[in-house]
Amino acid sequence: MLMKNSEEKRNTAWRAVMTVSSVLIVIVAVFFIVRIFTANPVAGTWVSEEGDITLVIDNRASLQVEDGSVSARTEYTVDRKTKVLTIHVNDDEILEQAEASEGEVTEGEIRDLLESVEGTYDYNIESNTLTLTEREYGSQMVFEKE
């Protein structure tokens, strides 16, 4: 064994091991606490219950909407305190995406897809289910996390 006959050296080694492990535990705990309170709760890939729309939400306020034949990107804002998700549609971005598709997708198809999800929603997440409730009319869209 390391340092067989020296009690003082064993105590020093034991203190060093305990200090390092304590520091690591504190660092890991701080990481998870910060992640819990600062993470974007709606980030991820969400598929609607009907399977007709897929939302790919990243942490940088960008949202990819797909319906099988058309895929479009737009911006969103999320307010974690009031649990509100707002999806914005930008006409310039729609035109840019239509031009970038080189005729595969028209501006009208992209606009129709994005306007189907545009709006302000109250969101609720329970386990792997995201429920978006439209604030104005109360209609709901339910998504499962992939």
Quote the pTM value.
0.75
Topology, domain 44-145: Lipocalin (2.40.128)
| Low-confidence residues of the chain: pLDDT under 50 | none
Domain boundaries, the chain: 1-38, 44-145
Supply the pLDDT for residue 87: 95
Q: Tokens standing for 76?
A: 């969103």
